[in-house]
Amino acid sequence: MYTLRSRAPMRISFAGGGTDVSPFPEQVGGAVLNCTIDKYAYATLRVNPDGKGIMGVTSVDYDVSARYADPSELAYDGKLDIVKAALKILRPARGSRPEGIDSVDFYLHSDAPPGTGLGGSSAMCVALVGAFAHYLKEPWTPYDIAELAYRIEREELGMKGGRQDQYSATFGGFNFIEFSAGRTVVAPLKIPRDVLNELAYRLLLCYTGSRRYSGGIIERQQAGVAEGRTETMEALEGTKRLAIDMKNELLRGNIDEMGRLLDEGWQLKKQFTEGITNPHIDALYAKARGAGALGGKLVGAGGGGYLLLFCDFERRSDVIKAVQQTGGDAADFAFELEGLQTWSVRPPAGSLPYPLASRP
């Protein structure tokens, strides 16, 4: 018996979110600027090569456990569905292993639950795929892993959303990602350390006090694109241009421009479709602006979750107080420049050797 573990970071999106959601990238082409932070999804695999093929799954966050003796038991019912889909797509068939197949227990844990806008469900899916890559000794590239995670979430399970979350969790760091029909290109950004330090100091990540469930928002946005709705198309095209502008300003080290561009992006985002914001979010944002925030936006599809704010450095504490007075809560975070990582857990001294660690 041996144990493997993986972790994938969550992300904050600066600009371009929504342009990665079909059918917009296929029709026009999308672009997103984002970075990963030090909040993670963890997947642990405890492997027993007994040939029985029994599967156990435990979600620490939801306090849910289940065991499955046969793939036919893996019915999607809203509980542990991402794991079930990963098992169906990635696990080798018993018929391909005459000696039987390993029994595997999964343990899942996340630093932030789904519905917070940080790409948590996609990070968990990437962590699962990464753990499978390690377990099966598959030579999957980061692009392969991101696409497999996309297939599990968007195609197998029908979960609404785009592609940026799977790619950011896999690659990690600051990335400018372009999306088109049948192709995704990740361009890692090499940003000087002093710029990163200043940007981290000027940003605040604030929980709005409510989770968001983005399926309906994304469906309405997709309908707007499919119908060629002018307001939706112009807003998405504008946020794509904004992602390019923000990337260029960041590479030049023009930190002060980030506040203005974040606010411009938020005004565009609210035009994608109805439901992006609500009176509570509008009040929180207005209070933060009045206290010294130069700009900001929700980091997910909309409706709740986390609000990213850019502050005047002299008034950072004032913004934190204003957010708390309006029912929000400032969260500590730091940039994470690494993506998906997998490793073998060292066994106790004197036990059998464990597989060598690997990273996709």
- What domains lie within the chain, and their CATH numbers? 2-344 (3.30.230.120)
Closest CA to 7 of 347, 357, 346, 338: 338
Which amino acid type is present at position 148?
L
CA distances (Å), 244 to each of 61, 101, 186, 283, 317, in order? 37, 48, 14, 29, 31
Peptide bond connecting 347 to the previous residue in cis, omega within 30 degrees of 0: no
Closest CA to 328 of 277, 288, 278: 288
Q: Per-residue pLDDT tens for 79-96?
A: 889 989 998 888 765 545
In the chain (360 residues long), the average pLDDT of successive 10-residue segments reads 95 95 95 97 93 87 86 83 89 58 90 85 96 93 97 94 96 98 95 94 90 73 93 95 96 92 94 88 94 93 88 92 91 95 83 45
- Yes or no: say if 336 and 172 are a contact pair by the CB < 8 Å rule: yes
Q: Could you say which of 81, 111, 165, 263 is catalytic?
A: 165
Helix (H) or strand (E) segment spanning residue 53:
none
pTM of the model as a whole: 0.92
Distance CA 48, CA 212 (A): 38
Beta strand 293-298 pairing with 306-311: antiparallel
Which amino acid type is present at position 221?
Q
Q: Residue 257 has what pLDDT?
A: 93
- Catalytic annotation present for 332: no
Q: Residue 352 has what pLDDT?
A: 52
Which amino acid type is present at position 144?
D
Q: Residue 354 has what pLDDT?
A: 44
Q: What is the DSSP letter of 115?
A: T
Q: Residue 261 has what pLDDT?
A: 95
Which amino acid type is present at position 43?
A
